[in-house]
Structure 1
Amino acid sequence: MDQALDPVFLQRRRRIRLLAGALLFAGLLGTGWGVNRVLRPSVDAADIVVSTVRRGDVAQTVNAAGVVIPVHEEVVASPGASRVAKVHAKPGQQVAQGELLLELDDRDIRLALESLQEQLAQQENRIATLAVELEQKHKQLTSSIELLELDLLSARARHERNQKLRQSGLVSGEDLLAADLNVKRNEIQLRQQREQIVDNRRATAGSVAAARLQKDILNKQIAQQERLLAQTRVRAPFAGMLTTLVQEEGASVGAGQLLARVSELNNYRVEATLSDFHARLLAPGQQVHVEQNGERMAGRVHTILPEIQNGTVKLLVDLAQPHNPLLRNKMRVDVNIVTAQRKNVLVLDAGAAFNGSGRQDAFLVADGVARKATLELGGGDGKLIEVVAGARAGERVIVSDTRAYAQQDSLRISD
């Protein structure tokens, strides 16, 4: 017959069943946790940057590459074909106004100057000779006129006497006519001599004027050669930094070739270059943020250069602090040109997770999990970016680089 089981045995078997069930449940939980670890990757909180969506003001900017340049810079060019005779300075040194930088060979200029000075002396001698000749001719003609005047007086007196004698019948008509003709001949000769004086004066004056004109031309040529001679001693046009200088003595230089460049010290502006796609957004007077090594400097667009080269447009930016000690000539900087301002809008800190404006995927963080969402982003200023749609104020978004998780829909955030 059947015998009743021991209660102790039944209790032990019940405990074994409960323990097996608990172990099975724990195994299922562990398996689920492992599958979750495989299917949902995690990221350390220290490896990401999270920003909170909030209300704020943001500027819409266009980014450009900039180079620091001096506000005032002057180039000294060669006055003509020559060679470098002697160098007195080095690039990079500070120079005073008028300081001698280098000397050019001036022998050809000196020879040309001496030749012009000789020609000038010849012209001066010619003018003096013409004046002497005019004086001599004037004296000769004056003497001839005086003699003709005497002959005329004598002829008139003879004519008057013959007229009186004719009335008495003592002189023939032929003698009277001869006397009359002699008077007229002397008058004509006297008039011709006087006209010759005027003609000689005019001719000599024309020759003198031509000689003086040639003299003036030679004086101008001499002045030009003297300027060229002075330019062979290349001097600093103003006090500043000598940034460029031909340094090789004996080197040949052509007319107009760059010899030296002097830049004003501690007074800079920025030359920015950007795609001509943004040219329609640019205007003089726009605010500009210039950044270098985390330092931000304010400025404004001064000039937009009209020429477009290789699909780029250039503009000049005046800085609010052109004497900033951080600035150096030819330093590369980042330039953000403010094209519009947005007030009291949803903003996020800018980061590598975003690329410009428009619809973009992002990860919203909540309860230790980052879930993918689509944001509509607007313009930004490099520091902040506008959130047009896809997130609300107070939500947190990963703004650091998330390209490694682009294929995931969610991420676990581990401490």
Structure 2
Amino acid sequence: MDQALNPDIIARRKRKTALAIAALLATLCAAAWGINRAVSPSVDAAGVMLAEVRVGNIANTINASGIVIPVHEEFVSSPIQTRVAKVNAKLGQQVQANELLLELDNRTILLAIDAIKEQLAQQENRILALTLEMEQKRKQLISAIELLELDLEATRVKLGRYQTLRKAGGVSAEDLLTAELNVKRNEIQLRQQHEQIADSKRVTSSNIEGARLQKNILQKQLLQQQELLAQTQVRAPFAGMLTWLLADEGASVATGQLVAKVSELNNYKVEASLSDFHARALGAGQKVLVEQGNVKLDGVVQTVLPEIQNGTVKLLVTLAQPNHAMLRNKLRVEVNIVTEQKKNTLLADYGPAFNGRGPQDVFVVRDGVARKTTLDIGASDGKSVEILSGARAGDRLIISDTSRYKERDSVRVAQ
């Protein structure tokens, strides 16, 4: 007959069973953990870029490439078709106002000036001849008038005598009529002589005026040629740097061709270029940050050029420090145009994980696990981005490229 087991033995057996079950469960957990470690991807914290979400200020900017140019530069062109006779300056040198840069061949202008001076002399001689001719005709007509006045006086005396005799029957009616006609004839001739003086004066004065007008035209032409002659001595329009020069002596030059360019020193602005995609967001008066290395200069958009070429829009930036020591002609700089400014907003450092504005998936690290989270990204200045929603201050974000984990919802972060 079976005997009941000792309670101690039963208790020991239960403990062994419980321990075996616990060991089995621990083994299963360890195996599951190991399998999870083997299957689930992980990233090394030192191998990714992490950024902590913080509160700060941000200015939304549009990035553009810029080039430093002088505020004032002037082009000097050739006034005529000629050739370079002599070069007096060197490219890149500093020049003073009115300093001689080069000389153009001026022989054709000198010949033109001599020809105009000869024509001026001819016109002066013509004016003198017409004036003398008018005076001579005037004297001749005055003499004729004086004779006619004597004849008129004589005929009037004779008419008066015939009128007296006619009353006494001493002359015939026919003789009286003849005397009256003689008086009228002399009066008409005298009037015609006076009119001829006026007509002759008007005609000769008109000829003289025409000669004087032609003389004035020639004087203006002479002045123009003298100005062209002065321009063949190419001089600096103001003090600055000679940034372009046609330095080949004997080289042919067309009318209006550029022969020199002088740029102002220590006074610069920036010409920025960017995609016309941003054209609607640009406007005069916007703040600008110009960067070159560690130097940052404040500026303002002066004007947005209306012409768009090859999908590129250009704008001019006025600098707060146009004479900064860093600035030099043709220096390439980075231009950040401020379109929006925000204060006390959530920020994170910019990285490849961000792509423009709007909702996008970013891995947020919490408790050693990076979980894919949809963040709403707002403004960006190229160094930081604004986080409108999806994260809180103190969170850490993976801002490096995580495209290889785009199918995963979470990734372990190994410390």
What TM-score do you get using the length of structure 2 for normalisation? 0.87
Distance 1:123 1:83 in 2: 34
1:193-272 paired onto structure 2 within 5 Å: 193-272=193-272
- Does structure 2 retain, via aligned residues, the 8 Å contact 1:376–1:388? yes
Question: Structure 1 pair 37/82, CA: closer, same or farther in 2 (3 Å)?
Answer: farther
Distance 1:34 1:42 in 2: 17
Residues 385-404 of structure 1 show CA distances to partners (whole Å, capped at 9, x for unaligned) of 10122221101123345557
Distance 1:169 1:332 in 2: 123
- CA offset at residue 285 of structure 1? 1.0
- Does structure 2 retain, via aligned residues, the 8 Å contact 1:237–1:262? yes
2:9 alignment partner in structure 1: none
Distance 1:301 1:394 in 2: 37
Distance 2:105 2:211 in 1: 33
Distance 2:185 2:339 in 1: 99
Question: Structure 1 pair 33/257, CA: closer, same or farther in 2 (3 Å)?
Answer: farther
- CA offset at residue 184 of structure 1? 1.1
- SS of the equivalent of 2:200 reads helix
2:99 matched to 1:106?
A: no
- CA offset at residue 232 of structure 1? 0.7
1:382 alignment partner in structure 2: 382
1:109-120 paired onto structure 2 within 5 Å: 109-120=109-120
Gaps spanning 5+ residues in structure 1: where? 1-21
2:44 alignment partner in structure 1: 43
Question: Structure 1 pair 296/181, CA: closer, same or farther in 2 (3 Å)?
Answer: same
2:174 alignment partner in structure 1: 174
Distance 1:214 1:350 in 2: 77
- CA offset at residue 270 of structure 1? 1.1
Return the letter of the residue paired with 2:127: I
2:60 alignment partner in structure 1: 60
Identity, % of aligned positions: 60
Distance 2:43 2:51 in 1: 19
- CA offset at residue 336 of structure 1? 1.4
- CA offset at residue 38 of structure 1? 7.8
Residues 119-173 of structure 1 show CA distances to partners (whole Å, capped at 9, x for unaligned) of 1111111111111111101111111111111111111111112222222322222
- Does structure 2 retain, via aligned residues, the 8 Å contact 1:40–1:412? no
1:13 alignment partner in structure 2: none
- Does structure 2 retain, via aligned residues, the 8 Å contact 1:269–1:322? yes
Residues 308-350 of structure 1 show CA distances to partners (whole Å, capped at 9, x for unaligned) of 2222222111111111111111112121111112222111122
Distance 1:258 1:407 in 2: 62
- SS of the equivalent of 1:136 reads helix
- Does structure 2 retain, via aligned residues, the 8 Å contact 1:297–1:321? yes
- CA offset at residue 352 of structure 1? 3.5
2:139 matched to 1:135?
A: no
Question: Structure 1 pair 401/264, CA: closer, same or farther in 2 (3 Å)?
Answer: farther
Distance 2:151 2:38 in 1: 144
- SS of the equivalent of 1:299 reads strand
Deviation larger for 347-356 or 78-87: 347-356
- CA offset at residue 411 of structure 1? 5.1
Question: Structure 1 pair 203/406, CA: closer, same or farther in 2 (3 Å)?
Answer: same
- SS of the equivalent of 2:158 reads helix
Return the letter of the residue paired with 2:125: N
- Does structure 2 retain, via aligned residues, the 8 Å contact 1:370–1:413? no
2:411 alignment partner in structure 1: 410
- Does structure 2 retain, via aligned residues, the 8 Å contact 1:361–1:372? yes
2:307 alignment partner in structure 1: 307
Distance 1:252 1:405 in 2: 67
- SS of the equivalent of 2:156 reads helix
- Does structure 2 retain, via aligned residues, the 8 Å contact 1:358–1:377? yes
1:178-197 paired onto structure 2 within 5 Å: 178-197=178-197
Distance 1:263 1:191 in 2: 75
Distance 1:52 1:267 in 2: 42
- CA offset at residue 207 of structure 1? 0.8
2:355 matched to 1:339?
A: no
Question: Structure 1 pair 94/406, CA: closer, same or farther in 2 (3 Å)?
Answer: farther
- SS of the equivalent of 2:284 reads coil
- Does structure 1 retain, via aligned residues, the 8 Å contact 2:40–2:411? no
Return the letter of the residue paired with 1:322: P
Distance 2:224 2:402 in 1: 70
- SS of the equivalent of 2:160 reads helix
Distance 1:401 1:94 in 2: 51
- SS of the equivalent of 2:241 reads strand
2:162 matched to 1:162?
A: yes
Question: Structure 1 pair 308/199, CA: closer, same or farther in 2 (3 Å)?
Answer: same
- Does structure 2 retain, via aligned residues, the 8 Å contact 1:375–1:388? yes
Return the letter of the residue paired with 2:119: Q
Distance 2:404 2:225 in 1: 73
1:12 alignment partner in structure 2: none
- Does structure 1 retain, via aligned residues, the 8 Å contact 2:152–2:187? yes
Distance 1:246 1:331 in 2: 23
Return the letter of the residue paired with 2:301: V
- The CA RMSD over aligned residues, in Å, is 2.4
- CA offset at residue 367 of structure 1? 5.0
- SS of the equivalent of 1:342 reads strand
- CA offset at residue 291 of structure 1? 1.4
1:78-89 paired onto structure 2 within 5 Å: 78-89=78-89
2:18 alignment partner in structure 1: none
- SS of the equivalent of 1:103 reads strand
Gaps spanning 5+ residues in structure 2: where? 1-22
Deviation larger for 259-268 or 168-177: 168-177
